[in-house]
Chain A
Amino acid sequence: AQTVTQSQPEMSVQEAETVTLSCTYDTSENNYYLFWYKQPPSRQMILVIRQEAYKQQNATENRFSVNFQKAAKSFSLKISDSQLGDTAMYFCAFTSGGTSYGKLTFGQGTILTVHP
């Protein structure tokens, strides 16, 4: 079974600074997908960024980028130029690319607080 671990329960950062959230996962599969979802206080789940395991290039979306280390099974999220609106819970998630119908396995989450 796949597992996803986020070892940082809480992080904080000053506005305009950069912060990195950690995620590790465990799988025996070679074909899979990784995601970061953001959950603000409204509790809506919002996709931040996704990474296909077969792609060596790290995904980027504006101020958000990932550091995907396949051999180490690590998938960290870097937020540059942090904004107050980035304050949220962030979840790392995994899904198999094989015969799975897309079930997402989530980590425990990291609460990120951006201070003015």
Chain B
Amino acid sequence: EPEVTQTPSHQVTQMGQEVILRCVPISNHLYFYWYRQILGQKVEFLVSFYNNEISEKSEIFDDQFSVERPDGSNFTLKIRSTKLEDSAMYFCASSSSGGGQETQYFGPGTRLLVL
């Protein structure tokens, strides 16, 4: 069964460093998402991406964040200058259509720790 994959599974970085989190969505999916979950808290939407552009973003997704689909398979989240409060689990998800008609499938997550 197709699945969303994410690399790395764990990332430790120093405050102020740039990190890139990578995701490979399910191959025939067209809508891509990033969510984050701070330890012990709920899952929060960051951004959605369709047709090579951001379709929606949350207040959390400020200028420090960017997303890119550099080729036909990868979908990346970049944090330019990490802060302590960026420590969280980051989930990538994909779906074949937007608007809820099709289910979003989640990757296993990347656990980011900023020291």
Q: Which residues in A have some Cβ–Cβ distance to B below 8 Å?
A: 32-33, 35, 37, 42-47, 50, 91, 93, 95-109
Contacts and interface: CB of A to CB of B under 8 A. Distances in A.
A93 B33 CA distance: 15
B99 A42 contact: no
Nearest to A98: B99
Interface of B: 31, 33, 35, 37, 41-45, 48, 50, 55-56, 58, 89, 91, 93, 95, 97-101, 103-106, 108-109, 111
A4 B35 CA distance: 16
Contacts of A109: 42
A97 B101 contact: yes
Nearest to B35: A104
A100 B42 contact: no
A98 B89 CA distance: 29
Contact of B45 (A33, A42, A45, A105): A105
A106 B44 contact: yes
Nearest to B89: A43
A103 B106 contact: no
